[in-house]
């Protein structure tokens, strides 16, 4: 069997920093925080009353009004992002190759907004008021399903669910589809929209969220000594991947190459990573092995960097384990300092940002990194973006359940 | 607002169609593009709005806009 090289030929995102990639990127490089008081529901009784919401998003240019009424917000984000992606890639799926185009979109929680509203209706008005659209609207794979309906892609149609690593797993397995020849192209990434009473209540109960209510824009502070939890975000990040042959044949603009994917499990605890970060290290090593790269060749790390006490110190430990002395020379960044933790969308959006970093030669900063933490003693690109050409970028995502994923994107060279 | 006007409003809202298309003889499936899930939700919306029960058997008979208006007017008159 011949293994195919996998290249990135399109990018699109909706984030708390912008309703398209260009705006989001501009704000990321400028160090803007997307955090603000929650507007989706009355959060006054909650320990955390702010989040990184997507703001003023108008789906009408992308999704028909009637269809939008049948979709949860996460699917509307995915469908809208997919429309922008196909435009960015200049790609239209011909019917004769449709079965060789995969759609793999990760989602950690699915349509909680729909679930909560329907449950309220059930309790107040009884079972006869449950909408026939409830189940199809809520299920987490409806994002992939709707993107397939809209684009005509008829290859693998899958939703990866691995909590906060869902988006990165989706891209990893989509790349595998292409590498193995199961697909010529794949629309892949992650989506999430769960700034809802149940999700905020649930993460609050876990003590996972920052409660810095008086200073929302300072709350997400990955690797800083005063971090007190993550800030919930939402959005969607999608990439178009193609085999190198397919991209070349259609004259596509090649943005980067997917060099390697690694995935692992902690075999340890429901929510906490082992303190040595050994599971995270396994995923990073796996990606290096598949890429055929030495750790010393990693030029930049787009970290998971959640701003929780445990993640940031464990991830730092894992990076040191894998990169050795080189760990101190590599600029690391956490996009979550600005977009918050977009859960199942995180790996999708941060992969888009990783590729954009290669394309632009600019590393977005980790904002709010004011007080060094002795347990986090690497170069996290504090507070100011850095102009620097980077060839090999490692992108990490880790999730509850003890699941870890790492992807390496590299600058494309024939 | 009359029953007919209210029914038309619900149809416009549920099916995302133009008000001008909602003629008495317009068929939900053939003319207004509804599928079976749309029809189920349309029936539920009318039940909710008018406070009536529409059995599955009765729902089968509601195929065009006038059917819905007549059915609701009859139910309200009972």
Contact (CB<8Å) B48/A64: no
Pair of tokens at residue A350: 């941060």
How many CB atoms lie under 10 A from the CB of residue A304?
A: 32
Whether pTM exceeds 0.90: yes
Contact (CB<8Å) B15/A66: yes
How many CB atoms lie under 10 A from the CB of residue A127?
A: 7
Tell me which chain A residues have a C-beta less than 8 angstroms from the C-beta of B37. 132-133, 136
Helix (H/G/I), strand (E/B), else coil: A259: strand
Task: Identify the pLDDT of residue A293.
Answer: 98
Pair of tokens at residue A100: 């060789």
Task: Identify the pLDDT of residue A87.
Answer: 98
Q: How far apart are CA A219 and CA A243, in angstroms?
A: 41
Could you state, in order of their start, the residue ranges of all structural domains in chain B?
1-75
CATH topology of domain B1-75: 1.10.1200
Q: How far apart are CA A396 and CA A351, in angstroms?
A: 9
- Closest residue of chain A to B45, computed from CA coordinates: A129
List the Cα angle A318/A321/A322 in 5-degree steps. Answer: 90
* Res. B1: pLDDT tops 90: no
**Closest partner CB to B44 (pick from A65, A66, A131):** A131
Which neighbouring-strand residues pair with A6?
A243, A258
Contact (CB<8Å) A65/B48: no
DSSP calls for B23-50:
-TT-BTTTTT---HHHHHHHHHHHHHHH
What structural domains and CATH numbers belong to chain A?
Answer: 6-250 (3.40.47.10), 261-411 (3.40.47.10)
The confidence band for B71, taking pLDDT boundaries of 50, 70 and 90, is: very high
Task: Identify the pLDDT of residue A77.
Answer: 98
**Closest partner CB to A69 (pick from B16, B44, B48):** B16
Residue B35 designated active-site: yes
Cite the active site residues of A. Answer: 164
Query: Measured between CB atoms, does B35 come within 8 Å of chain A?
Result: no
Pair of tokens at residue A334: 């956490």
Task: Identify the pLDDT of residue B69.
Answer: 95
Tell me which chain A residues have a C-beta less than 8 angstroms from the C-beta of B22. none
Task: Identify the pLDDT of residue B78.
Answer: 73
DSSP calls for A189-251:
EEEE---SHHHHHHHHHTT-B---TT-HHHH--TTBTT---B-BB-EEEEEEEEEHHHHHHTT
Task: Identify the pLDDT of residue A180.
Answer: 97
Give the gap in angstroms from C-alpha A133 to the nearest C-alpha of chain B: 7
From first to last of its 414 residues, chain A has per-residue pLDDT tens of 889 999 999 999 999 999 999 999 999 999 999 999 999 999 999 999 999 999 999 999 999 988 998 999 999 999 999 999 999 999 999 999 999 999 999 999 999 999 999 999 999 989 988 999 999 999 999 999 999 999 999 999 999 999 999 999 999 999 999 999 999 999 999 999 999 999 999 999 999 999 999 999 999 999 999 999 999 999 999 999 999 999 999 999 999 999 999 999 999 999 999 989 999 999 999 999 999 999 999 999 999 999 999 999 999 999 999 999 999 999 999 999 999 999 999 999 999 999 999 999 999 999 999 999 999 999 999 999 999 999 999 999 999 999 999 999 999 998
Angle between the A346-360 and A166-179 helix axes, to the nearest 10 degrees?
70
Q: Is the dihedral of CA A13, A58, A89, A6 positive or negative?
A: positive
Pair of tokens at residue A395: 């992108």
Q: What's the start-to-end Cα distance of chain A, in Å?
A: 21
The confidence band for B77, taking pLDDT boundaries of 50, 70 and 90, is: confident
Catalytic residue among B13, B18, B30, B35: B35
Query: Measured between CB atoms, does B15 come within 8 Å of chain A?
Result: yes
- Closest residue of chain B to A137, computed from CA coordinates: B37
Task: Identify the pLDDT of residue A261.
Answer: 98
Contact (CB<8Å) A132/B15: no
Pair of tokens at residue A163: 């909590």
Tell me which chain B residues have a C-beta less than 8 angstroms from the C-beta of A132. 37, 40-41, 44
Tell me which chain B residues have a C-beta less than 8 angstroms from the C-beta of A69. 16
Mutation site, B17, B21, B41, B45, interface A, largest A CB count within 10 A? B41
This complex has an ipTM of 0.75
Closest CA to B20 of B12, B28, A275, A352: B12
- The residue behind tokens 């599971």 is A279
């Amino acid at each position: 069997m011949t293994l195919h090289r996998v290249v990135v030929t399109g990018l699109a995102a909706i984030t708390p920093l912008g309703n398209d990639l260009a705006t989001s990127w501009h704000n990321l490089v400028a160090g803007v925080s997307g955090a603000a008081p929650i507007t989706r529901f009355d959060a006054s009784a909650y320990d955390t009353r702010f989040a990184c919401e997507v703001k003023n998003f108008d789906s009408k240019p992308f999704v028909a009004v009637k269809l939008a009424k049948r979709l949860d917000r996460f699917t509307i984000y995915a469908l809208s992002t997919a429309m922008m992606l196909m435009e960015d890639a200049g790609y239209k799926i011909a019917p004769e190759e449709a079965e060789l185009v995969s759609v793999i979109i990760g989602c950690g929680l699915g349509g909680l907004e729909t679930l909560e509203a329907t449950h309220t209706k059930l309790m107040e008005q009884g079972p006869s008021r449950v909408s026939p659209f409830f189940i199809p609207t809520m299920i987490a794979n409806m994002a992939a399903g709707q993107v397939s309906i809209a684009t005509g892609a008829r290859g693998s149609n899958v939703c990866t669910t691995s909590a906060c690593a869902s988006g990165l797993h989706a891209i990893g397995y989509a790349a595998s589809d292409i590498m193995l020849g199961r697909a010529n192209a794949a629309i892949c990434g992650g989506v999430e929209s769960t700034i809802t009473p149940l999700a905020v209540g649930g993460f609050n109960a876990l003590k996972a969220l920052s409660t810095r209510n008086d200073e929302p824009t300072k709350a997400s502070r990955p690797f800083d000594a005063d971090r007190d939890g993550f800030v919930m975000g939402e959005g969607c990040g999608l990439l178009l991947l193609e085999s190198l042959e397919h991209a070349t044949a259609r004259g596509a603009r090649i943005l980067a190459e997917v060099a390697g994917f690694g995935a692992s499990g902690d075999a340890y605890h429901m929510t906490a990573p082992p303190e040595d970060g050994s599971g995270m290290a396994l995923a990073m090593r796996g990606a290096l092995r598949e890429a055929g790269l030495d750790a010393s060749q990693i030029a930049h790390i787009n970290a998971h960097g959640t701003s929780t006490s445990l993640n940031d110190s464990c991830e730092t430990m894992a990076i040191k384990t894998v990169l050795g002395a080189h760990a101190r020379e590599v600029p690391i960044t956490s996009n979550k300092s600005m977009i918050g933790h977009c859960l199942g969308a995180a790996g999708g959006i941060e992969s888009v940002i990783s590729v954009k970093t290669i394309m632009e030669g600019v590393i977005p900063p980790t904002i709010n990194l004011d007080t060094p933490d002795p347990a986090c003693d690497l170069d996290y690109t504090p507070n100011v973006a850095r102009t620097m050409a980077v060839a090999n970028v490692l992108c990490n995502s880790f999730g509850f359940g003890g699941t870890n994923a790492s992807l390496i994107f590299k600058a494309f060279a024939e | 607002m009359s029953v007919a006007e209210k029914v038309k409003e619900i149809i416009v809202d549920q099916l995302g169609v133009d008000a001008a298309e909602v003629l008495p003889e317009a068929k939900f499936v053939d003319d207004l593009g509804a599928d079976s899930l749309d029809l189920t939700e349309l029936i539920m919306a009318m039940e909710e709005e008018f406070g009536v029960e529409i059995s599955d058997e009765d729902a089968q008979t509601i195929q065009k806009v006038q059917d819905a208006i007549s059915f609701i007017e009859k139910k309200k008159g009972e």
